[in-house]
Structure 1
């Protein structure tokens, strides 16, 4: 199979080079159709054993935002309230129950049923990947994203996952950026500082 052409610069800019972590949003709604399109993109990102352990709660209504607010650090409350949608990226502690249909190559479920540490590490690593896919899918659809980890996990879980099956990984605010809340781009480490070709 020949190598596919690179995406044009305008797409690379939108996904990476011009994108910013957003801390302020304009009052523009995000529709159900857009949220479905967002998931329909991110779901194709690879996960180990095709496990797909991430679970997503799209917090949009004023009532749901009010449930989320007390769990947030004070510095994250205003931006979360202003965002059209705040996505709780969680992980399913029993993701392996879906492996027989999602990974039919062989029976991988017993690997995780008998090894809680492996199951937890797999759920965390791969739900983190899926959260990153969510950010890129949002940018691809023209939305801005503001991921955050400033919250009380136990409070989020008590408010949204009281049965204990899911645990929160991080939260991503989505919407249309308010230019007044976009900070200058922070520096990035160079290739030579972080990578080597061997």
Structure 2
């Protein structure tokens, strides 16, 4: 594994170099996994860690279905596109992640210091936009949690979102955001790392 472009980075971070490698520098999106199962207890431990991810107003719209049974796997694979079908069929565990578009109903207990916080999201369009954005934040932390557990993740958005939403949630209030394959990476799990933009291309100081 090649060294990071900024070799001075460890001097400016409090995260141990080993953790930097596990979570970022050596972590990759996995395309293939071993047959070793991923127990429920391990995913629960991941959630108990990443549930503290920051979201707007502590809204926590992420909802997840863990696909374990062969029947459910077949239902999901049907709606995946291209090579994602094979990847999803062979992964030890697959998580279907959705945004709860009615997350605002939970806000009174999530932000108890506010009076009727749910009223802020009374209009459907801004509520759905907020649900989708904050679910994406939570997914990012979920992937880091998977890596922290010594597992690899293969997040994908190549699928029929409307069909998967209906197949695995079906109530009209959940919108599928991504599918995440989870497991121990196989020896051939990785492709070459693609380039990243340099700091100077991304950051502007004003």
Q: Could you say which residue in structure 2 is the equivalent of 1:121?
A: 129
Separation in 2 of the partners of 1:13 and 1:137? 14
Separation in 1 of the partners of 2:125 and 2:155? 26
Give 1:155 deviation, angstroms: 1.4
Q: Could you say which residue in structure 2 is the equivalent of 1:69?
A: 77
Residue from 171, 175, 184 that aligns with 2:183: 175
Structure 1 moving runs of 4+ over 4 Å = none
1:97-136 alignment to 2 at 5 Å?
97-106=105-114, 107-113=116-122, 115-136=123-144
Give aligned pairs, total: 193
Deviations 1:151-172 (A, max 9, x none): 0012102211112121101111
Q: Could you say which residue in structure 2 is the equivalent of 1:34?
A: 42
What stretches of structure 1 of length at least 5 have no aligned partner? none
Residue from 33, 37, 47 that aligns with 2:55: 47
Separation in 1 of the partners of 2:26 and 2:69? 30
Give 1:94 deviation, angstroms: 0.7
Deviations 1:76-114 (A, max 9, x none): 01111111111111011110010000011213110112x
Separation in 2 of the partners of 1:174 and 1:102? 29
Stretch moving more, 122-131 or 99-108: 99-108
1:86-101 alignment to 2 at 5 Å?
86-101=94-109
TM-score between both structures, scaled by the size of structure 1: 0.94
Q: Could you say which residue in structure 1 is the equivalent of 2:30?
A: 22
What stretches of structure 2 of length at least 5 have no aligned partner? 1-12
**Aligned-pair Cα RMSD in Å:** 1.1
Deviations 1:9-65 (A, max 9, x none): 110110001011111111010001001111111111011110000101111221211
What SS does the corresponding residue of 2:31 show, helix, strand or coil? coil
Contact 2:98–2:165, Cα closer than 8 Å, also in 1: no
TM-score between both structures, scaled by the size of structure 2: 0.91
Give 1:181 deviation, angstroms: 2.6
